[in-house]
Amino acid sequence: MINYKEEIATKIAKVTNLNKQELEQYIEVPPNSDLGDYAFPCFKLAKDLRKAPPIIANEIKENIEIDNNIIERIDVVGGYLNIFINKKELAKTVLEEISKQKEKYGSSNIGEGKTAVIEYSSPNIAKPFHIGHLRTTVIGGALYKIYNFLGYNTIGLNYLGDWGLQFGKVIAGISLWKNEYDFENDEMGSILKTYIRFNQEEKEKPELTEMARDSFKKLEKGEPEIVKQWEHIRKISIENYSRTYKLLNSKFDSYDGEAYYNDKMTPIIEELKAKGLLKESQGAQVVDLEEYDMPPCIVVTSAGTTIYATRDLAALKDRINRYNFDKLIYVAGSEQQLHFKQVFKVMELMGYGDYVAKCTHVPFGLIVDKDGEKIGSRKGNSVFLEDILNESIDKVKDIIKEKNPDFEDRDEIARKVGVGAIIFNDLSNSRIKDEIFDWDMLLNFQGETGPYIQYIYVRTRSLLNKAGYIPQIQEIDYSKLQEKEAINILKLIYTFNEVLQNAADKNEPSILARYLIDLSQSFSTFYNEHKIITEDKFVQGARLYLSYAVGIILKTGAELLGMEMPERM
């Protein structure tokens, strides 16, 4: 496929004798297509060429080699070269590439030979999957799929919160109240009720806290019965999460949680001591980070126990040894920014700076309702993600029933649309912003939503079904795709790989989500302005193939976000 920026940069380099790669970085896409398909700001060359930008622009225009298959014309406006490409050749290069690559269009080998490790989701076991873990799960899941699509060896880590005093509380609570809850029929719910009750009652009964500590000490020491009980709780929790992960199309390559690093924390503490980094502070062992404008990183508490930071240090050291990664991405809430800064700085001080440079914390905002209030409880109860997903599915079923009572495959379509709406609502805006959770907005089939993208995809499929065929690429007359609306679509399809690389570079799935909205809206405009099923078979063939291409990109892009596309709605 033609790389237009590279071709333009090569031609400008021949005239100016400047570095082609540097020139390529300067090339822009104008906000208005009337100003050209690409623009080159000659202001960037004024210092090197010691001339005014308009003079440079005119000299380049007069001397540049014009290849009519690539460039139709060049206009000079002030200090800019406005470059218009050959639209017929654009249609040819894009659609022929679609014909060859199909659902792999936009993929690349840019990550070949590189390993990207992504830690995401990471709920605390012994509790049902709370809605607060939705964002890390879908953001991390989208990054996992995007990196994989770009050729990286991608490894998804679900760093479970499966250790700590909370398990002492659950184990002690079960020993006290096992007969009061229905563990046989609702084990996960009963575990949660036990945990909540324990936390409430220990406020008035300090002896319960001692029981919890004693149970956790037995777990740490490896007492067989306690370990067996903990393993069962962990197993039940993962089985519970798996239902939600299946709905969200989330995949993990490892479920190694905090417990996995129990025997790896002593070595990291000893290494910190050997390197002279540990200091005593109020009975605790800390790494002093005052020089770096951070509070001390506590490694061992005054009670002699390790904490989350200790386990993260041990985990990072283990991942260096195990994966030798090129990227290590932590998808975790904005409130953990200081924690990761401390962990990364401590590892750097330990001599692992080369690997720390490859580590990135990908933060995100909260989930809030339309009034801006954090969604954390409803009528005093936790909001569980599986309940939200099922509620979304049920709402879509109601919409289908109202509009088309005889619709077949209602359950399957409702699942894809309902879950897709939740995923897209999370990913459609910059991750650092709070996500607004509003049923009326996220289930809107006309707004900038997941259902809208699915609806446009279904429209492309119905056009092909109505025509009864997908045209052969060798039969396409590219001169029949010269309308402004068709060109806008072709330009968007052309940039698909660039969009994916940008999303990966910034660890920002919303870049892909917004692109899918733009493509959907562009196709909707094209559909409304031009008949696709028409008497002119050459026009119909070209427009049908463009519709087919749009469908491929919408489906590929949506699946990279974790959505599934229905074939009809």
Report pLDDT for 378.
38
Task: State how beta strands 80-85 and 359-362 pair.
Answer: unpaired
Report pLDDT for 376.
55
Report pLDDT for 380.
41
Mean per-residue pLDDT, 315-328: 96
Delimiting residues of CATH 3.40.50.620 domain(s) in the chain: 115-362
Report pLDDT for 212.
92
First to last CA, the chain: 34
| Three-state DSSP string of 159-221 | CCECCCHHHHHHHHHHHHHHHHCCCCCCHHHHHHHHHHHHHHHCCCCHHHHHHHHHHHHHHHH
149/100 Cα distance (integer angstroms): 17
Report pLDDT for 379.
39
Contact 392, 244 (CB under 8 A): no
Report pLDDT for 382.
62
Name 126's bridge partners. Answer: none
Question: Residue 405 corresponds to which tokens in the numbers above?
Answer: 């009572």
The dotted CATH code for 4-85 is 3.30.1360.70
Contact 483, 534 (CB under 8 A): no
Report pLDDT for 349.
97
More confident residue, 6 or 220: 6
Contact 354, 360 (CB under 8 A): no
Token look-up 């029929």 returns: 185
What's the mean pLDDT when you consider all of the chain?
A: 93
Count Cα neighbours of 538 within 13 Å in the Cβ-side half-sphere.
5
485/522 Cα distance (integer angstroms): 7
Delimiting residues of CATH 3.30.1360.70 domain(s) in the chain: 4-85
Mean per-residue pLDDT, 76-87: 94
Report pLDDT for 29.
94
Mean per-residue pLDDT, 30-38: 90
347/342 Cα distance (integer angstroms): 9
Contact 163, 221 (CB under 8 A): no
More confident residue, 469 or 303: 469
Helix axes 484-494, 510-529, angle to 10 degrees: 160
pLDDT in tens, 526-568: 999 999 999 999 999 999 999 999 999 999 999 999 999 999 8
516/510 Cα distance (integer angstroms): 10
For the beta carbon of residue 357, count every other beta carbon within 10 angstroms. 10
Contact 378, 384 (CB under 8 A): no
Q: Which long-range contacts (CB under 8 A, 24 or more apart) does 285-293 make?
A: 287/342, 287/346, 287/349, 289/342, 289/345, 289/346, 292/345
Q: Is the pLDDT score of 34 beyond 90?
A: no
Question: What percentage of the chain exceeds 90 in pLDDT?
Answer: 79
More confident residue, 291 or 304: 291
More confident residue, 365 or 496: 496
pLDDT in tens, 116-168: 999 999 998 887 788 889 999 999 999 999 999 999 999 999 999 998 888 99
Q: Among 91-105, 433-447, 472-486, 509-523, which is the least confidently predicted range?
A: 433-447
- List residues with catalytic annotation: 127, 130, 133
To 5 degrees, how large is the angle CA 486–CA 491–CA 496?
125
190/195 Cα distance (integer angstroms): 9
Query: How many helical (H) and strand (E) elements, i.e. helices and strands, does the chain have?
Result: 22, 14
Mean per-residue pLDDT, 58-81: 91
pLDDT in tens, 292-317: 999 999 999 887 878 889 999 999 99
pLDDT in tens, 352-404: 999 999 999 999 998 887 777 776 543 345 678 888 999 999 999 998 888 88
Q: How large is the C-alpha radius of gyration of the chain? A: 28
pLDDT band at residue 408, thresholds of 50, 70 and 90? confident
The dotted CATH code for 115-362 is 3.40.50.620
Q: Among 172-181, 223-232, 252-261, 301-310, which is the least confidently predicted range?
A: 301-310
- Assign 333 to helix, strand or coil: coil
The one-letter amino acid at 472: Q
Residue 184 burial (C-beta neighbours within 10 Å; 0-12, 13-18, 19+) = exposed
Q: How far does Cα 488 stand from its chain's mean position?
A: 26
Q: Is the pLDDT score of 412 beyond 60?
A: yes
Contact 509, 143 (CB under 8 A): yes
148/530 Cα distance (integer angstroms): 37
Q: How far does Cα 282 stand from its chain's mean position?
A: 42
Report pLDDT for 377.
41
